[in-house]
Amino acid sequence: MKTQKSTLGFWISPITKLLGIALLLINSFYWSIPEMAEYVASAYSGISPSHYTLTTVTRFLGWLITTLQISVLTYGLFTVANIFRDFSKGIWFASSFSNQLKRFGISLLVFSLLSPIVQVLTGLALTYTNTPKTERMIVLSFNIDGKGATIFLIGILLILMGKVITEATRLADENSQII
Amino acid sequence: MVSESMTEKQIIVTLDVMLAKRKMRSKELSQRIGISVQNVSLLKSGKVKGIRFQTLAKICEVLDCQPGDIITFE
């Protein structure tokens, strides 16, 4: 199906990709500066800065773990970029659209589910160099905050929407072959 | 159990035969029934999943024939 409104998709697609890359760069930037790394480390691990000492190794581990989680979101944003790219080409009601929507939903779901794992791993990475070994910490907390729950629910919603659109495109394809 | 002869039978579109009998071109038919020439071509070649009763009725009216003159089961 073709549409003339391609300008929107033409511009949003690269902007979305840039946003995805920017997320990774911002994360790297935060971890590269000790003062900012301390703030990010506390936010991710839920451990007070007094319980660990940030070294190059702990910062690298923290960056690596958080980058893994953010990569999932970047992947999701790249999927959204592909949706807009297709939209600019006039392809918007096709099976590829529903698949991309499902992939974005899954990436949001995985991103939100990774949060507690990232918290535990970041906590471990930050306190890994602590001496004595008894001061190494595993922080486990299962709190349902509004932001995390919203991302989780939106992820589920997008997956369901993707399934509905898959069925709708199948019906539309079938109808287009009936004269 | 479906017999072999049953599975081999299929719907055959004989619209081209009827058009030849009526000495009518696909373009004229498409204009008179209000569908595109491409769809008439697809219909003639049988490369469609189905035909609406509405379209069938229009074709029968224009060509002055019965549905059985356009589609057969062989």
- The span from the CA of A112 to the CA of A114, in Å, is 5
Residue B3 has pLDDT above 60, yes or no: no
In A, minimum Cα distance to B33 occurs at A179
Where along chain A do its domains lie? 6-176
| Cβ contacts from A onto B, under 8 A | 18
Q: Which residues of A fall within a CB distance of 8 Å from B42?
A: 179
A 137-176 near B (Cβ less than 8 A): 174
pLDDT (tens digit, 9 = 90+) per residue, A148-158? Answer: 889 999 999 99
> Which CATH number do you get for residue B68?
1.10.260.40
Per-residue pLDDT at A139: 63
Evaluate if residue A5 carries a pLDDT over 90: no
Indicate the burial class of A47 (C-beta count within 10 angstroms; 0-12, 13-18, 19 or more).
middle
A178·B52 Cβ contact <8 A: yes
Q: Which domain holds residue B65?
A: 4-73
Query: Is residue A49's pLDDT more than 90?
Result: no
Residue A71 has pLDDT above 70, yes or no: yes
* Residue B52 distance to chain A (closest CA, Å): 6
Task: Tell me the chain B residues in contact with residue A179 when contact means C-beta distances shorter than 8 Å.
Answer: 35, 39, 42-43, 48, 50-52, 55
> Does the pLDDT of residue A2 top 70, yes or no?
no
pLDDT band, very low/low/confident/very high, at A126 (cuts 50, 70, 90): confident
Task: Give contacts of B55 with chain A, Cβ < 8 Å.
Answer: 179
Radius of gyration of chain A (CA): 21
Q: How many domains does chain B have?
A: 1
CA distance A16 to A23: 11
ipTM for the predicted complex? 0.71
pLDDT by residue (tens digit) across B14-61?
Answer: 999 999 999 999 999 999 999 999 999 999 998 888 999 999 999 999
The pLDDT value recorded for residue A144 is 63
